[in-house]
Amino acid sequence: MQTELESVNSAFEEADSKATILSKQCGTLEAQLADSQEILQEETRQKLAAQSRVRQLEEAMEAAQDQLEEEEEAKKALENKIAHLNASVSHVPEKSDTGLATAFESRKAHR
């Protein structure tokens, strides 16, 4: 019976020793899990911030493209107007300048 008691006592001590080791390992693993979760939360926060920044930049780029298109349309409209005015000016006879001067002089003379 003494041998049996020593055998059970030895098994108990061995089990207790293993339980202590496993408890320490469990604590270490829990700490590692907590660290990993913190890292994951930080990475998620950074990812969301980056996605938000990308959306802001895409919106700014779209607004700039819209403004560029509007400015190009305005430029084309002004170029067309300039071309039209140049065409109108080129059809005015050069003699009209001298004719206007003559008419002006004759009006002055009649006064």
For the stretch 27-59, pLDDT in tens is: 999 999 999 999 999 999 999 999 999 999 999
What is the pLDDT at residue 81? 95
- Output the pLDDT for position 4: 86
Which segments of the chain are extended strands (E)?
Answer: none
- Asked whether the predicted pLDDT for residue 97 surpasses 60, the reply is no
How far apart are alpha carbons 27 and 111 in whole angstroms?
A: 115
Per-residue model confidence (pLDDT) at position 90: 81
Q: At residue 109, does pLDDT exceed 90?
A: no
Q: Which residue has the tokens 């560029």?
A: 68
pTM beyond cutoff 0.85? no
